[in-house]
């Protein structure tokens, strides 16, 4: 018979010791697929050997990038085991080197062969989102107040300018008519001291800018030869405009002033003008325009 070992007395401090808790984390089936794919990819990369003694960093990067992408595709499988890929994943498999398209600025999308107008600048300052919607979905419907304002501008123009109908047949005729109106209004300002609805076009800060000044008048003091720019605004209510509306009107006048000063100080870049708007330098203007310009005293071809 063997003697049984004596019973050791329990440690007095054992009652104060706590059994450590092992954290338990439940892994879903989708995560298990990801772990298994990563393990398989790592094992295959370790067991494979390169044909040369030293593998290039580029080949390693491409291999790892393809491996990471394949793991990402596996991780996107549903819990039901479906292997259907997302739309962007299928497009990636067709063209792995496809670049993400960057949206072009609105200036290039909507004003590529058109000049930027002063109204575009003031409308953007007033409400950027409203300007964005007007470019993407079209301008809003003309209201009664807008029709009344347009009629008021026409009435003011007819007080000092006699309008004549001219038939145009091409883009060259349209631009020629704008320049003819500019020359006519400039002569009227010089000899009569006032003109209205004067069209402007100039090359400012690398951008072609156009606008129509409501009114220009020369100061009554004969020594001052700087014209005064006037902008007419119509309102629905008989109240003074709020500060945001006044600020927007001042911005419009500042743009006209800057455009006017640029035309007065610098020579007109005719070569860039023809190239930007794709105009034919040798185009013969329509007979109606040639007759009107000849009767006005500055014949044009």
The residues spanned by each domain of the chain are 26-45+55-102, 106-296
Strands 194-204 and 116-117 come out as: unpaired
Determine the Cα–Cα distance for residues 196 and 154; give it in Å rounded to an integer. Answer: 10
pLDDT of residue 22: 67
Judge whether residue 51 has pLDDT over 50. no
What value does the mean pLDDT take over residues 118-128?
93
What value does the mean pLDDT take over residues 93-100?
52
Judge whether residue 283 has pLDDT over 50. yes
pLDDT of residue 295: 80
Question: pTM of this prediction?
Answer: 0.62
* Res. 12 pLDDT band, cuts 50 70 90: very low
Determine the Cα–Cα distance for residues 122 and 177; give it in Å rounded to an integer. Answer: 25
Judge whether residue 74 has pLDDT over 50. no
Locate 203 and state its tokens: 């090359």
Exposure letters 22-61 (e unless 16+ CB within 10 A, then b): eeeeeeeeeeebbeebbeebeeeeeeeeeeeeeeeeeeee
Least confident range of 201-205, 237-241, 256-260, 275-279:
237-241
């Amino acid at each position: 018979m063997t003697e049984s070992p004596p019973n050791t007395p329990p440690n007095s401090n054992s009652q104060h010791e706590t059994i450590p808790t092992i954290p338990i984390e439940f892994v879903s089936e989708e995560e298990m697929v990801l772990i298994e794919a990563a393990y398989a990819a790592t094992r295959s990369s370790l067991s494979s050997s390169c044909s040369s003694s030293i593998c290039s960093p580029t080949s390693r990067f491409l291999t790892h990038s393809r491996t990471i992408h394949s793991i990402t595709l596996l991780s996107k499988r549903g819990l039901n085991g479906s292997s259907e890929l997302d739309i962007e994943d299928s497009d990636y498999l067709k063209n792995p080197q496809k670049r993400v398209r960057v949206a072009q600025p609105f200036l290039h999308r909507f004003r590529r062969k058109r000049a930027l107008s002063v109204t575009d600048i003031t409308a953007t300052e007033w409400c950027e989102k409203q300007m964005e919607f007007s470019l993407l979905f079209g301008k809003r419907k003309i209201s009664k107040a807008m029709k009344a304002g347009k009629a008021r501008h026409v009435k003011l123009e007819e007080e000092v300018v006699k309008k004549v109908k001219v038939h145009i047949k091409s883009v060259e005729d349209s631009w020629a008519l704008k320049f003819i109106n500019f020359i006519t209004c400039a002569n009227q300002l010089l000899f009569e001291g006032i003109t209205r609805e004067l069209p402007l076009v100039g090359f400012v800060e690398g951008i072609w800018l156009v606008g129509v000044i409501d009114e220009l008048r020369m100061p009554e003091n004969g020594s001052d030869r700087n014209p005064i720019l006037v902008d007419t605004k119509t309102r629905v209510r008989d109240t003074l405009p709020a500060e945001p509306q006044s600020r927007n009107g001042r911005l419009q006048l500042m743009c006209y002033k800057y455009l006017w000063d640029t035309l007065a100080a610098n020579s007109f870049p005719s070569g860039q003008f023809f190239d930007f708007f794709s105009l034919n330098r040798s185009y013969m203007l329509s007979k109606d325009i040639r007759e009107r310009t000849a009767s006005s005293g500055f014949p044009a071809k």
